[in-house]
């Protein structure tokens, strides 16, 4: 234990040790600096209302990130996440427009129980993701390429579905109030109002945590990501579990996309655009490794919250969306560079 204490004793650290520590934690230093800048520009940013808004907006992102997080643990990635979210949003919104809305996509469709369209959207995105998993596991196609192709395919399907007569490509609005309240509603806890979305994200987080930490499924995806050859020798069915981790991701994309449509009250074929980069970056910032076999649910949640605080804060102080994209891109590059550096140092 004495050696461990000395390792983290800053008094005994050399300049090289300090530099290594700063490099390994550069992403957190950058994020802390951004937070300090935001608070310095606008101290009003720190408020209960903003905190609640951040948690509410982060809730759907957490659900999506939990999906791609499992794929990253299994040493993969998924560039189709954002487009699958958009597909789910468009499908669920088109089936859950208010009965008296003048521009319904399906004028003769009776009012549906909100869970039916959400389930349809989840099954559709699960099917897309299972195809991804099949191509990766069966034909050994790199996940980057397989999911890149699926990203384009899903966007094509979404655009075809979205640009339909008689009204053509216009935002799908007039959503059923029951559907929007399902995501936008909240309840009181003393003086605090808790959005429903936070509860949904907590439930999903607990379920995925159980799958990762208390089931054979979780044990095997970590084994596949850590060393696939060793996993095969140990009797792990790589094909089966690759399909399972992609299928679970698809279900979560569908749920997240449906909730996102209800949260913002509309959907277009561009809903979910670039969400995959936010989710993947949040996972890497949260401690998951592109080299597989490493990661915690708490890390994913933390990563999403960090990104959401920064994004909300930059909006709060009036930073343009273009500059926000520059900052996000830099954060992604730094996070991946640090992950690669840590992996190289272990070899």
346, with CB counted inside 10 A (0-12, 13-18, 19+), is exposed
pLDDT at 325: 87
Token duo for residue 29: 């230093």
Cα–Cα distance measured from residue 224 to residue 291, given in angstroms and rounded to the nearest whole number: 11
| Structure-derived torsion over alpha carbons of residues 165, 264, 122, 113, reported in degrees to the nearest 10 | -80
Place of tokens 């397989």: 146
**Closest C-alpha to 208, from 105, 38, 89, 66:** 66
pLDDT of residue 315: 93
- Listed in sequence order, the residues at least 6 apart from 256 whose beta carbon sits closer than 8 Å to its beta carbon are 60, 61, 63, 64, 67, 85, 88
pLDDT reported for residue 2: 40
Identify the weakest region by mean pLDDT among 5-14, 217-226, 264-273.
Answer: 5-14
CB neighbours of 23 closer than 8 A, spacing ≥ 6?
A: 338, 341
pLDDT, tens digit, 9 for 90 and up, residues 116-172: 999 999 999 999 999 999 999 999 999 999 999 999 999 999 999 999 877 778 999
Confidence of residue 188 (pLDDT cuts 50, 70, 90): confident
Q: Is the pLDDT of residue 9 over 70?
A: no
pLDDT in tens, 205-214: 999 999 999 9
Q: How far apart are CA 335 and CA 329, in angstroms?
A: 10
Helix (H, G, I), strand (E, B) or coil at 276: helix
According to the model, what pLDDT value does residue 347 have?
61
Average pLDDT, rounded, for the chain: 91
Rounded CA Rg of the chain: 21
Confidence of residue 189 (pLDDT cuts 50, 70, 90): confident
Show the CA angle centred on residue 107, arms to residues 102 and 108, nearest 5°.
145
Secondary structure (3-state) at 187: strand
Nearest one of 298, 305, 260 to 282, comparing CA atoms: 305
pLDDT of 240 over the 80 cut: yes
- High-pLDDT (> 70) share of the chain, %: 96
Contacts of 198 (CB under 8 A, 6+ apart): 55, 56, 59
Cβ density class 112-124: b for 16+ within 10 Å, e for less: bebeebbbbbbeb
Average pLDDT over residues 80-92: 98
Tokens representing 84 are: 């699958």
Q: Which of 31-35, 214-218, 222-226 has the lowest mean pLDDT?
A: 31-35
Residues sharing a CB contact under 8 Å with residue 245, sequence separation 6 or more, in sequence order:
70, 71, 73, 74, 76, 133, 217, 221
User: Global pTM?
Assistant: 0.91
143 vs 115, 163, 167, CA distance in Å? 31, 30, 37
């Amino acid at each position: 234990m004495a050696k461990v204490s000395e390792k983290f004793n800053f008094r005994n650290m050399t300049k090289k040790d300090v530099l290594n520590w700063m490099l390994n934690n550069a992403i957190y230093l950058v994020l802390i600096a951004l937070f300090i800048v935001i608070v310095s520009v606008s101290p009003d940013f720190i408020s209960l209302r903003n905190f609640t808004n951040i948690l509410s907006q982060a809730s759907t992102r957490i659900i999506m990130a939990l999906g791609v997080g499992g794929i990253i643990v299994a040493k993969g990635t998924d560039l189709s996440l954002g487009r699958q979210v958009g597909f789910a949003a468009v499908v669920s919104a088109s089936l859950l427009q208010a009965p008296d809305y003048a521009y319904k996509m399906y004028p003769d469709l009776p009012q549906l129980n909100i869970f039916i369209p959400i389930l349809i959207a989840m099954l559709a995105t699960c099917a897309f993701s299972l195809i991804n998993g099949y191509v990766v596991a069966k034909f050994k196609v790199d996940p980057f390429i397989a999911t890149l192709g699926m990203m384009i395919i899903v966007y094509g399907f979404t655009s075809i579905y979205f640009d339909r007569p008689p009204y053509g490509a216009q935002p799908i609005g007039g959503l059923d109030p029951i559907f929007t309240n399902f995501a936008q509603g909240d309840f009181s806890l003393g003086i605090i109002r808790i959005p429903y979305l936070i509860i949904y994200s907590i439930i999903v987080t607990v379920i995925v945590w159980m799958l990762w930490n208390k089931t054979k499924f979780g044990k095997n995806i970590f084994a596949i990501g850590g060393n696939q050859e060793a996993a095969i020798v140990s009797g792990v069915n790589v094909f089966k579990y690759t399909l399972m981790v992609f299928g679970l991701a698809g279900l979560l994309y569908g749920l997240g996309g449906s909730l996102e449509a209800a949260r913002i009250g509309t959907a277009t074929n561009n809903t979910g655009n670039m969400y995959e980069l936010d989710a993947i970056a949040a996972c890497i910032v949260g401690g998951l490794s592109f080299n597989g076999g490493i990661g915690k649910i708490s890390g994913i949640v933390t990563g999403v919250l960090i990104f959401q605080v920064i994004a909300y804060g930059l909006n709060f102080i009036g930073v343009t969306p273009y500059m926000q994209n520059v900052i996000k891109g830099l954060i992604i590059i730094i996070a991946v560079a640090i992950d690669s550096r840590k992996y190289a140092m272990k070899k």
